[in-house]
Amino acid sequence: MIATDAPHWTLDKPSDRALFGKSLLINRPRQELFDAWQVERFPAFMENVIAIEPQAKDVSRWTVRAPAGRHVVLINRITRVVPGEAIYWQSEDASDIANSGEVRFRDAPNGRGTYVSLILAYAPPAGALGRWGAKLLQREPEVQARRDLHRFKQLMETGEVTSNASPSARSSERPTQPHI
Amino acid sequence: MRAVTWQGRHKISVETVPDPEIVNPRDAILRVTSTAICGSDLHLYDGYIPGMRAGDIVGHEFMGEVVDVGSGSSLKKGQRVVIPFTISCGQCFFCEKQQFSACDNANPAETRDASELLMGHAMGSAFGYAHLTGGYAGGQAEYVRVPYSDIGPVIIPDDLADEDVLFLSDILPTGWQAAINADIEPGDTVAIWGCGPVGLFTIQSARLLGADRVIAIDHFPARLALAKSLGAEILDYRQVNVREALDEMTGGIGPDACIDCVGMESHGFTLDNILDQVKAQFYSVTDRPHALRQAILACRKGGRVSIPGVYGGFADKFPLGQLMEKGLTVKSGQTHVQRYTGELLDMIRDGKFDMTSLVSHHAPLEDAAAMYRHWHDDQDDYTKIILKPGLEKTIVQNAHAMADA
Ligand SMILES: NC(=O)c1ccc[n+]([C@@H]2O[C@H](COP(=O)([O-])OP(=O)(O)OC[C@H]3O[C@@H](n4cnc5c(N)ncnc54)[C@H](O)[C@@H]3O)[C@@H](O)[C@H]2O)c1
Ligand SMILES: [Zn+2]
Ligand SMILES: [Zn+2]
């Protein structure tokens, strides 16, 4: 029994599987956010997701951008849904990257909106895929997941995904593209 | 279009760049009619703000005419507006609390990461102020893209000139918030370090908020003269021991509130400041808080310290024990501009503020490089510079000389 109230994903991580969790306060009602967390809407705020196609009930095929112009394919199955509160998923064997995760929605105190937590676990792929997959996996899924969650918040709170697209004197940039 | 760009430390150039475009529904595009250079731009110029990239368009104090709007903007083409320097969504937790400069959406997902690492939490956003605060192009340009244009812009009636309202973009609300943060009570003596544009509006605000006495500190005669004309008693720190003078002026207790309108590039040849400068050269500390140290030491027991001056990171020899043992209250922050613009516009209309006597120069946008150099090197003559995209090159107008003629 661990004497702590810290979320499990912030505790020391014993396994080789990378574990990542990020929580954000989103100033919208819990049910509205839960309802908006639909696989079809992910490409609007998940930057590296090129396409998500339904395959079977609760199973979807994700095409995700990877370094060096390559793609990875994830086959994910929704394993459990707690209405208004949480969605859990787990990858199938055919997935390029083994991963599992959950998204949780909890009321924030006193009408502040909702705490949304995205928790991801993934295992580096083996073999040839592993060489560049590892590079992808070291930081990228965490960074991407964190940024995607922020974009979800922007979209839900402001109706837009924030962009700093504006001119500069750098000839490689265009005023409609964000500068990073 | 033509735009003022940062190219490196002490390198400003006016370049031809693409025009901005509407990107998101709530955007508007402005044709800039007036834009000012700020003390905060000096920190960029001197290379103290991390996250600048060569080619960035600078400028965060500007106003102009709406020339294009997205489907979600509440503005109309042809309207004259002043734009708050802070970019704020209006709908996050912080914006709803009116802590607009802390907006949690305006800093894009990609640029907020670095600032989170540096500050503990991601910074808000501003125009023309480095990639840590969003990486948005600034308004020292012919045109500028304004995100969330249904929230920030202040619509200006035709009978008010640009010069009457331009400073609603930053330095007037910054001075106002600095004075509000000093929690001024009747009978108070308020001491203000720095008689730059921010200090000068803080002096006016402190008096309007009921301070009995305002004492202003600087070393440039012209800036001290402006402070005096606005009703402050003045101290030239080259002539006196500032703390001794403040004690003697307040029966030994010290000022009730102390306001640091200097920021990270404090001047002066005191021992602590020289050590700070040597370290800052090697970037081992980012800040030279001489004025702030002095403000904390000078403040009366149980008094208040307000810090509108900008700091970027860690400071050496911060008088922490003095802060604690004297029981001081400290308030600080980038200005929540959108919170104050409505009441301040009304106060401008009622003639409560002197908006123009601090302006020393009007210059064409094309002369920006020279103007930045003067703003940096000749602070006594150049007390506030307004750039006009419309003016022809090198028709620099010295406002004081014109007034004398
Ligand atoms: N909080 C905000 O949102 C906000 C907004 C605008 C500006 N600022 C900051 O406010 C500060 C002042 O801005 P400004 O435009 O007036 O700048 P400025 O550089 O024109 O003025 C600073 C003044 O401080 C004086 N000074 C320097 N060292 C001093 C010392 N040791 N004691 C007393 N005076 C000293 C200088 O002589 C100068 O007149 C800057 O740090 C700027 O970045 C903050
Ligand atoms: Zn400014
Ligand atoms: Zn906001």
Please tell me which residue, A14 or B199, carries the higher pLDDT value: B199
Q: Work out the percent of chain B whose per-residue pLDDT is above 90.
A: 83
pLDDT at B2 over 90: yes
Parallel, antiparallel or unpaired: strands A114-123 and A18-26: antiparallel
- Answer for the pair B63, B169: CB distance below 8 angstroms, yes or no: yes
Has residue B158 been placed in a domain?
Answer: yes
Residue A128 binned pLDDT confidence (cut-offs 50, 70, 90): very low
Q: What is the pLDDT of residue A6?
A: 78
B37 CA from centroid of ligand 2 (Å): 7
The average confidence (pLDDT) of chain A is 86
Judgement on whether residues B321 and B255 belong to the same structural domain of the protein? yes
User: What is the pLDDT confidence band of residue A98, given thresholds at 50, 70 and 90?
Assistant: confident
| Residue-level pLDDT at A47 | 85
In angstroms, what separates the C-alpha of A29 from chain B's closest C-alpha?
13
Q: Kindly report the CATH number assigned to the domain that includes residue B367.
A: 3.90.180.10
Question: How is B260-319 classified by DSSP, letter by letter?
Answer: E-S-TB-----HHHHHHHHHHHTTS---B-HHHHHHHHHSPTT-EEEE-S---S--SS--
Res B144 pLDDT > 90: yes
Between CA A70 and CA A72 the distance in angstroms is 7
Query: Cα separation of A35 and A76, whole Å?
Result: 19
Answer whether B336's CB lies under 8 Å from B152's CB. no
Q: Quick one: B301 and B188 in the same domain?
A: yes
- Kind and range of the H or E element at A150? helix A140-158
Query: What pLDDT, on a 0 to 100 scale, did the predictor assign at position A2?
Result: 56
pLDDT of residue B394: 64
> Would B75 be classed as within a structural domain?
yes
pLDDT digits (tens, 9 = 90+) for B154-174: 999 999 999 999 999 999 999
Beta strands in A41-144 (DSSP E): 49-56, 59-65, 71-82, 86-91, 98-107, 114-123
pLDDT tens string B11-55: 999 999 999 999 999 999 999 999 999 999 999 999 888 889 999
How far apart are alpha carbons B74 and B76 in whole angstroms? Answer: 7
- The number of folded domains in chain B is 2
Residues B191 and B143 in one domain: no
Same structural domain, B232 and B367: no
Of B53, B54, B91, which is closest to A27 when you measure between CB atoms? B91
Report the pLDDT averaged over residues A29-46: 94
* 8 Å CB contact between A99 and A121: yes
Distance from C-alpha of B133 to C-alpha of B74, rounded to nearest angstrom: 25
At A138 the pLDDT is 45
Instruction: Determine, yes or no, domain membership for B133.
Output: yes
In Å, what is the CA distance from B216 to each residue of B196, B232, B292, B296? 11, 6, 14, 15
Q: What is the mean pLDDT of the segment spanning A79-87? A: 97
Residue B340 lies in a domain: yes
pLDDT of residue B405: 41
Question: 10 Å Cβ neighbour count for B346?
Answer: 10
Same domain? B143 vs B56 = yes
pLDDT bin (cut points 50, 70, 90) of residue A144 is confident
A30: left (phi over 0), alpha (psi -120 to 50) or beta: alpha
Return d(Cα B379, Cα B195) in angstroms, integer.
11
Residue with tokens 């020292």: B140
In B, minimum Cα distance to A179 occurs at: B135
Instruction: Check whether residue B257 and residue B276 sit in a common domain.
Output: yes
- The answer to whether the CB of B242 falls within 8 A of the CB of B217 is yes
In terms of domains, do B84 and B43 share one? Answer: yes
In sequence order, what are the residues at sequence separation of 6 or more whose Cβ sits closer than 8 angstroms to the Cβ of residue B80? B33, B63, B64, B65, B66, B155, B156, B158
> B332, B352, B376 — which closes off a domain?
B332
pLDDT of residue B51: 84
Which amino acid is present at A132? W
- Say which residues have a Cβ less than 8 Å from residue B104's Cβ, sequence separation at least 6: A153, B89, B92, B93, B94, B122, B124
Residue B175 lies in a domain: no
CATH no. for residue B318? 3.40.50.720
Which of the listed residues B37, B40, B166, B181 should we mutate to test ligand 1's pocket, taking the one with most ligand atoms within 8 A of CB? Answer: B40
Using only C-alpha atoms, chain B has a radius of gyration, in whole angstroms, of 20
For residues B170-191, give the mean pLDDT: 98
Beta bridge partners of B233: B215
* Token duo for residue B204: 């006016």
Mean pLDDT, residues B264-293: 72
Residue A50, both tokens: 């090129």
| Structural domains in chain A, sorted by start | 17-157 (3.30.530.20)
Rounded to whole angstroms, how far apart are CA atoms A37 and A31? 10
User: What is the arithmetic mean of pLDDT over A21-50?
Assistant: 93
Domain edge (last residue) among B287, B312, B332? B332
Residue B148: CA count within 13 A, CB half-sphere:
32
Query: Is the same domain home to B265 and B363?
Result: no
Query: Are B148 and B205 in the same domain?
Result: no
Q: State whether B325 and B363 are in the same domain.
A: no
- The domain of B292 spans 180-332
Contact list in A for residue B74 (CB cut-off 8 A) is: none
CB atoms under 10 Å from CB of B38, counted, come to 28
| Ligand 2 is an ion; residues with CB less than 5 A from it | B 38, 40, 170
Task: Read off the DSSP letter of residue B42.
Answer: H
- The rounded Cα B154 to chain-centroid distance in angstroms is 18
Asked if B31 contacts B113 with a C-beta cutoff of 8 angstroms, the reply is: no
Share of chain A above pLDDT 70, in %: 86
Judge whether B360 and B398 are in contact, CB under 8 Å. yes
The pLDDT of residue A136 is: 54
Helix or strand run (H / E) with residue B397: strand B397-398
Among candidate residues B214, B271, B215, the one with its CA nearest the CA of residue B242: B215
Within-domain flag for B193: yes
Residue B13 sits in the same domain as residue B127: yes
More confidently predicted of A3 and B164: B164
**pLDDT for B404 beyond 50:** no
User: Using 50, 70 and 90 to split pLDDT, how confident is the model at A62?
Assistant: very high
* Ligand 1 neighbours by CB, cut-off 6 Å: B 38-40, 42-43, 170-171, 174, 193-199, 217-220, 223, 237, 261-263, 266-268, 290-291, 308-310, 334-335, 379
Query: What pLDDT, on the 0 to 100 scale, is given for residue A97?
Result: 85
Q: Is B188 helix (H, G, I), strand (E, B) or coil?
A: coil
Domain boundary among B332, B360, B389: B332
The continuous run of DSSP H or E covering A21 comes out as strand A18-26
- Whether residue B287 is found in the same domain as residue B395: no
Q: How do strand B143-146 and strand A49-56 relate by DSSP bridges?
A: unpaired
Secondary structure class of A145 (helix, strand, coil): helix
Output the average pLDDT for chain B: 93
